[in-house]
Structures are given as structure tokens and as C-alpha cells.
Structure 1
Amino acid sequence: MCRWTPAAAHLCPEAALGTTTAAASAGRPLPLPSAASICLACLSLLLVTAGTATGACPPGVGHEPFQVLAGGINCSWTLERHTRSYNHLEGDVRLRRLYSANKFFLCIDKTGKVDGTRRKNYADSLMEIRSVSVGVVAIKSVSTGLYLAMSKKGTLFGSVKYNPSCKFKERIEENGYNTYASLRWKHGGRQMFVSLNGRGKPRRGHKARRRHPSTHFLPMLPS
């Protein structure tokens, strides 16, 4: 419930007390509060209660301290802004087999050779796809520990060490397949893509285009 306190009491307590005493001595009824006074008192009480419960000043108060709130309470809290933390994809790891639209699994053997195989459970085709930044991934063969990399000329190979040539931009195409374009290298201003031709052999990055089925891969869960 909201108890009414005369508005004058907040401005000059002595004057309010004198007025009340004089009215009582004269036998006159105490003056009834106006509707505006009641609303102001209730609003002030609500603001104080809200500020106390949340540990912050009432709405509309900046980082500067509140000087006087209708009840004469000093508010020295500052507004706390809770920044929502969105988990970034960076560091996310997926174990997948990259199955091309040409029906080959991408693989990297222990010598660093990149090839395609039709063997579903071939060890060298199991890849660890790690997100290194937004839309950019590193692809590593689980069995050989080699990273998929692309040279300046668009040749695919397995790299022992992770380096900028091992970063690929991953994009989901309209047909549901993914494409992987080198982040570091381009040819004539055009992107160079990871690609396997109809015989399962890697194509030079500059000869592949996003619309070509040879550049489309479906990340499949290992069975």
C-alpha cells in the first residue's frame, strides 16, 4: 500500500509540522491531500523500491548520482549495463568427411597429397574442421595431422604447420553444399576454390568456379 506523505514535508519539514499542529489545535480537520500529491508520493516510493531491488538508480538517471529523490534519499548508485555475451564460433570443431558433388571424399595422405576417394570410411578422409574466425575454417586430416592448404598457384597440398595458406572461407550454397575458397590467395581478383574433378583429382583453384559441382562439398558426420 502507498502511504501518503504531505508534499510540503519533503520541502520544509518544520513548516509541515507547524501546519499540522495548528490545525489540530484549532479543531479543524487536516487538509486532504490532492490527487497530484498522492500520485507523486506513490511514484516516488515505487522508484525508490525499484532502485533498491535492482541495485541501480531509477530509469532516466545517468551515471551521475541522484541528488534528491522525492523522499529525500540520495542515490549514489550508477546504472549497470549488462552486455550480453554471444558465443563466437571461433574455436568450434567439427569432425566431418567432405563429400563432393562428384561423389568423392576429400582426403590428405601422409605424404601431403590431396586426393579424392570413394571409400566411405577411409581414415585419411576424416577431417577436423575448425572455425578460426567468422566464416573462415581450417581443415586438418585426423589420421595424418596435415592441414589442407592452397598455394599461390591454386594447388592443394597437405601442410605440416598451420599458416595463412590453410585458411578457407566456408560458404553454404543454395543447394545445401559448402564451398571452400582460399582466404589468402586469389587469381586475377577471383577466388580460388577447393575442387575435385570427375575423376576425384584436385583441380587448380583458378580453374574452379563457385557454380561448378566440383567445388561443392557436403560435410558428412562420420559413421
Structure 2
Amino acid sequence: MCRWTPAAAHLCPEPALGTTTAAASAGRPLPLPSAASLCLACFTLLLVTAGTATGACPPGVGHEPLQVLASGINCSWTLERHTRSYNHLEGDVRLRRLYSANKFFLCIDKTGKVDGTRRKNYADSLMEIRSVSVGVVAIKSVSTGLYLAMSKKGTLFGSVKYNPSCKFKERIEENGYNTYASLRWKHGGRQMFVSLNGRGKPRRGHKARRRHPSTHFLPMLPS
């Protein structure tokens, strides 16, 4: 009769020596393990194999399932989950046109003026959105090379050089649009947002609110 592996031996022990000898001498076949014992042993071996493959148990805890269960430690027997995917990972670069809920494309002209335009393929509206840290981006006009920036008073302008005023916290809202809040500046403890009003003109950051359509932008792929 085959012997069980050490991990499962105690679940289905071999018959006692006297019983085995008596059965053999009488010419009777050795008693087979019950169906319940076989199922429990197979399940045990499966857990041992999975635990060995994943290395999920913490150091100091053996791979015997009963030992783990008795210890009260919650070990995962599945493969470790991959890191959740985000679109704001550091170093990520996207070419997009920021289309506001007010139906304007955000643009920065060569003089540094920030404005909105309804022209879909306007050169100054093509932006390079670069993630500088998780959830924080820098927005630069591809045609003019100027960075979108916000002053302490909440005014939007184009900056020649990248600096802390050019960092914006990018957040995906429930409606699928993005909002961009200044990382550096706040007004009375409240965040100041990039915003275009109903005429396509930039609104002061402290007058904009996260839920207002003027602050909502849809990053569109260039056509």
C-alpha cells in the first residue's frame, strides 16, 4: 500500500501493525481508506502545493494546512494580485486635447495666454500630459512648449519653465470627466481648479468648484 506524504500522513494513518499482519495472514485484502479520508487528503495536498507555489504564508508558518488553520493566520492560497493599474503612474506621457464640459478645448498660445477654442484641430490645444508623481500631472502645449500654470491668485497662464505652480492633481470624476486642481496653491483651504466658463474664458481658480461643469475636462485623443 502506498504511503501518504508527511503533510497528509496524520490524516490517514496506516493500519496498526497487528491489524495489518492479521489481515495479511488471513488472506484478506487490506482495508482501503474511506472516501472522506481520500477527499480530505487530496484537499490537503492541493493546499500544500498551492502554498508552496505562491509562498503566500508568512515566515515561520509551515505549509501544513491544519497548522495554518490552527494558527488563525489568514494565508492567501491564490497568486498574488498584480498592482492595480492607474493612468497617472509616474513617467506616463499622453497627448490629449482637454475638452471642457462647456464645449471648449483648452489652449495656450505663444504669448502664454490661456483660453478656450471650439476649433477641434487647433494646434495650440494639443497638450502633453506628463505624470510627475501618482495622481499629479504637468500639462504642456505641444506647439508653444509652454506649461499650464496657476498663480497664487488662481490665474491661469503659460509658463516657459516647469516649476511647482505647474503641478496639478488629476482626478477622474463620477461622470467620466477629469478635474485639475493646483497642487501648490489653495484659497482659504479650498482647492483651486482649472476652469473655462461658458464663453471659453479661464475662470479664477478660487471661483471654480469640483462639481461645476466649467472644471470638467475630457482628455481626447488627437485626430
**TM bin (shorter chain):** 0.5 to 0.7
Alignment gaps of 5+ in structure 1? none
- Could you say if the C-alpha distance between residues 16 and 57 of structure 1 is closer, same or farther in structure 2, counting changes exceeding 3 Å? farther
Which stretch shows the higher mean deviation, 52-61 or 14-23?
14-23
Residue 48 of structure 1 is matched in structure 2 by 48
Which stretch shows the higher mean deviation, 147-156 or 61-70?
61-70
- Could you say if the C-alpha distance between residues 130 and 50 of structure 1 is closer, same or farther in structure 2, counting changes exceeding 3 Å? closer
- Could you say if the C-alpha distance between residues 106 and 62 of structure 1 is closer, same or farther in structure 2, counting changes exceeding 3 Å? same
Per-residue deviation, residues 179-223 of structure 1 (Å, max 9, x unmatched):
100000000111100000111110110111111111110000000
| Cα drift, residue 51 of structure 1 | 13
Rg comparison, structure with higher value? 1
| Cα drift, residue 173 of structure 1 | 1.1
Check whether the contact 1:67–1:74 (CA below 8 A) recurs between aligned residues: no
Residue 207 of structure 1 is matched in structure 2 by 207
| Cα drift, residue 72 of structure 1 | 31
- Whole-angstrom CA distance in 2 between matches of 1:104 and 1:76: 49
- Could you say if the C-alpha distance between residues 108 and 18 of structure 1 is closer, same or farther in structure 2, counting changes exceeding 3 Å? same
Per-residue deviation, residues 120-162 of structure 1 (Å, max 9, x unmatched):
0000000011111111111011111111000000000011111
Check whether the contact 1:102–1:198 (CA below 8 A) recurs between aligned residues: yes
- Could you say if the C-alpha distance between residues 194 and 125 of structure 1 is closer, same or farther in structure 2, counting changes exceeding 3 Å? same
| Cα drift, residue 93 of structure 1 | 0.6
- Whole-angstrom CA distance in 2 between matches of 1:15 and 1:72: 31
Check whether the contact 1:48–1:58 (CA below 8 A) recurs between aligned residues: no
| Cα drift, residue 24 of structure 1 | 21
Check whether the contact 1:57–1:78 (CA below 8 A) recurs between aligned residues: no
- Whole-angstrom CA distance in 1 between matches of 2:119 and 2:7: 86
| Cα drift, residue 176 of structure 1 | 1.0
| Cα drift, residue 18 of structure 1 | 23
Scaled by the length of structure 2, the TM-score of the pair is: 0.65
Per-residue deviation, residues 76-132 of structure 1 (Å, max 9, x unmatched):
999999999999810001110000011100000111110000000000000011111
| Cα drift, residue 25 of structure 1 | 23
- Whole-angstrom CA distance in 2 between matches of 1:99 and 1:77: 46
| Cα drift, residue 35 of structure 1 | 19
Matching of residue 193 in structure 1 with residue 170 in structure 2: no
- Whole-angstrom CA distance in 2 between matches of 1:142 and 1:62: 58
- Could you say if the C-alpha distance between residues 60 and 33 of structure 1 is closer, same or farther in structure 2, counting changes exceeding 3 Å? farther
Which stretch shows the higher mean deviation, 102-111 or 68-77?
68-77
- Could you say if the C-alpha distance between residues 38 and 144 of structure 1 is closer, same or farther in structure 2, counting changes exceeding 3 Å? closer
- Could you say if the C-alpha distance between residues 2 and 172 of structure 1 is closer, same or farther in structure 2, counting changes exceeding 3 Å? same
Alignment gaps of 5+ in structure 2? none
Count of matched residue positions in the alignment of Structure 1 and Structure 2: 223
| Cα drift, residue 60 of structure 1 | 4.3
What does 1:1-223 align with in structure 2 at a 5 Å threshold? 60=60, 89-223=89-223
Which stretch shows the higher mean deviation, 23-32 or 201-210?
23-32
- Whole-angstrom CA distance in 2 between matches of 1:204 and 1:33: 79
Which stretch shows the higher mean deviation, 205-214 or 60-69?
60-69
- Could you say if the C-alpha distance between residues 79 and 18 of structure 1 is closer, same or farther in structure 2, counting changes exceeding 3 Å? farther
Scaled by the length of structure 1, the TM-score of the pair is: 0.65
| Cα drift, residue 49 of structure 1 | 12
